[in-house]
Chains A and B, each alone.
Chain A
Amino acid sequence: MSLDLVQMILATVLAAATPLIIAALGELVAERAGVLNLGVEGMMVCGAALGFAAAVETGSTLAGALAGIGAGMALAALFGVLTVGLAANQVASGLALTILGLGLSGLAGAGYVGLKREPAPHLAVPGLSDLPGVGRLLFGQDGFVYAALALAVAVSWFLWRTRAGLILRAIGDDAAATHSLGLPVRGVRFLAVLFGGGCAGLAGSYLSLAYTPFWTPAMTAGRGWIALALVVFASWRPARVVGGAVLFGGATVLQLHAQASGIGLPGQLLSALPYLATILALVLLSLGRRRGGSLAPAALGRDFTPHR
């Protein structure tokens, strides 16, 4: 295998990991605040549809990405009003949001099926991008990839180095205790849900603007669910989200290459690899969990209604 082939494979792995990183980071922030939003898939697919539509109409990838973020946030706002404002059941609302998102995206994207546009431009730094072996991998990705990595650093810094991040983690650990200190539980939770929606929308728009530059209904193909599993796999830590996403992305790409090179395994089994990896990760994680404290935010999935 030549150096360039390795680089090409690694670049594809990173591209496959990018939407997972972005969506999982958003969900991680929401879950750290104690809100479990199972609607990631729905918000993602809406981001993909509206992102592609906006990009086609305006001709701008940036406008598409922003439209994707907006679509994800709009759905997340609905979820936030239901679960944070009205204390509706988070699991049921999240599942409904996924179904709603799949339907809405089909409707909004109906006129754009079959259209194609140029994928998002890749970075090209004279000299650096042509370095043999690493140039394309490090300096030749599109903007989404760099944004995803920057987002991981930013989320990590926010959660553990800022006062607002501390308050968010405290709310996810014990909402009643945090409320009794006078901190705005519902406000912070709502913002965290919005952030999660924006990230899911951005991840979706990456799929239709850069990864496969066209729109087709339900094109997220379960990546929203993988992102949800990834948050657990990463035990709610941003750095591990990146590692896990690369692992899952790698499983996807490996499966494609294995099929192409004609390994004598059924394609369906190889396609199932990423999902099997998720299950395995969850099993391993719960096996290694018997120390003190809890890995998951203790108030995850519990609604909170203050008296006043």
Chain B
Amino acid sequence: MTAGTGRAAAADPRPLFGAYGIVKRFGDFTANDHIDLEIRAGEIHALLGENGAGKSTLMKILYGLLAPTEGVVTHRGDVVRLGSPEDARRLGIGMVFQHFSLCENLTVAENIALVMGRGLGRAALARRIAALGETYGLHLDPERPVWSLSAGERQRIEIVRCLLQDPKLVILDEPTSVLTPGEAELLFTVLERLRAEGRALLYISHRLDEVRRLCARATILRAGKVVGACDPRAESAGSLAAMMVGAQVCEVAPAAPAAPGGERLRLDRLSLPAPGLHATGLRDISLAIRGGEILGIAGIAGNGQAELFAALSGETRAGQAGAVLIDGVPAGHLGVNARRRRGAAFVPEERNGHAAAPGMSLSENVVLSRHATAPLTRFGFLRRGAAQALADRVIATFDVRKAGPDPAAGTLSGGNLQKFVVGREILANPGILVVDQPTWGVDAAAAARIRQALVDLAAAGSAILVISQDLDELFEIADSIAVLHAGTLSPAVTRARTTREAVGLLMGGAEDMPPAVTGAVPPSEAAHAT
């Protein structure tokens, strides 16, 4: 496409794509409630909303994956029927998925060939991939299997696959959630270019500063309804967030700086072999956290976060007992419960299946992680009443919204279940708390609540380790930040002495310390400096 078609499209008063009166019900639940949305050629249109606001449902309807219960989709004023993604692609709608829709054991070219028409030979496809890569700076090796690629490269496949079909509308679902800041910059350049070519982009993101930078129009969803439209450039991140959640989001209040306590958690040159095919080994990881301190571990997924968490929680035991020290006592050989009895608590990344058993009730889920640290059993028998009382305390303290008195954990929304599993551990009053991705996929209000709880717990004298891919989160709550890359941990640096860019470079694997953090100190000293 050229700028000429872009102008022609702009002159057309009818929107490129429109969705009118869209209603989607799943049983009793209304995910989309009479949504109207118009998308014009040559614009980046933001779709904002909390988790569960109905963004994903609306996108799936636009991409033909879900059929709306009511309402119509139009293309240049004509009603169209989107029976399948194939129909959508034929109309020029492309999609870049948040959780990539890629088959890991197929090659890049095979994944792309899945959506290309018949009769396109291997060599011809490879040529087109190379040509597109040249045009947009999206280089790919067509013969690499997807499992060997980073998240950024995987997203590149999604984008190339989408662009090879010359789409008029590109839907991007949380495209930067797994990217380093550098990779995100590259993406923004491509998106600006697509917009200049006269294509329309529908951009879904939690990251309000990105929306304000890229998008000229935004539609805001709340609880399945459109609650507003605005020009995000004229708004502040705070006012956009307020529209999303319907109330002012409270900033996390920094707790009164407590005098740092004694060292509570230490890793001493912990090394572990990679436990599986896709896993990362840990190499010489050392860190130390004192009471009252929050250490943030940044890094892109797959660089050893899951393995580090398992080594801290005791799911993987260290080779030497002295590699993990809890309150100065060797604990590397201890299992999860033994570590819990020493006052540690753990919140894994995956809510459904790791932190909580989705098919079991909330009170049963309380027993799963607290049976060692709360009086929930007597002579080996469960005390259901005590478990229920503890679950109710978590629910009341952390404002967990649920249906029914003691529902299955899997029926809670992501944000509410996360509040529940974090709250369950915090109410144990742990001396050490290890949290992996505390607010992954959680809406702004719930995320603020969880972060506040972490800050408050630290203020009460606990040592907290937060593993997160969200730099904004780490810069909001962590006292010092270290970066995990390819199984090695960079020295921890106090928050005031580093920048997002410096951390981003380390996340991308920069070997040398960037200039912004010349004052880096070894981990133990850095921890003590706070």
Residues on A facing B (Cβ under 8 Å): 163, 166-167, 169-170, 173-174, 176-183, 290-294, 297-298, 307-308
Contact = CB atoms under 8 A, between A and B. Distances in A.
5 nearest A-B residue pairs (beta carbon): A182-B85, A177-B101, A173-B103, A180-B101, A182-B84
B142 interface: no
Contacts of B106: 166, 169-170, 173
A178 to B, nearest CB: 7
Contacts of A173: 103-106
B105 A181 contact: no
Given A169-B106, A292-B277, A293-B147, A181 B101 contact: yes
B273 to A, nearest CB: 11
Contact of B104 (A167, A179, A298): A298
Q: Summarize A's interface: helix, strand, loop or mixed.
A: loop
B148 interface: yes
Interface of B: 26, 64-67, 84-86, 88-89, 97, 100-106, 110-111, 113-115, 118, 145, 147-148, 277-278
Nearest to B145: A293
B219 to A, nearest CB: 23
A96 to B, nearest CB: 24
Contact of A178 (B66, B113, B114): B114
A282 B26 CA distance: 45
Contacts of B84: 182
Contact of B86 (A166, A178, A182, A290): A182
B67 A166 contact: no
Nearest to A307: B66
Q: Summarize B's interface: helix, strand, loop or mixed.
A: loop
Contacts of A174: 101-104
B114 A167 contact: yes
A163 B115 CA distance: 10
Nearest to A175: B103
Contacts of A177: 100-103
A292 B103 contact: no
A167 B65 CA distance: 18
B277 A308 contact: no
Residue among A174, A182, A292 with max Cβ neighbours from chain B (10 Å)? A182
A45 B106 CA distance: 35
B435 to A, nearest CB: 28
Nearest to B109: A166
Contacts of B147: 292-294
A298 B103 CA distance: 9
Given A174-B104, A181-B101, 20 more contacts: A166-B110, A170-B110, A173-B103, A174-B101, A174-B103, A177-B101, A180-B65, A180-B85, A181-B85, A181-B114, A182-B64, A182-B84, A182-B85, A182-B88, A291-B277, A292-B145, A294-B105, A294-B277, A298-B105, A307-B26
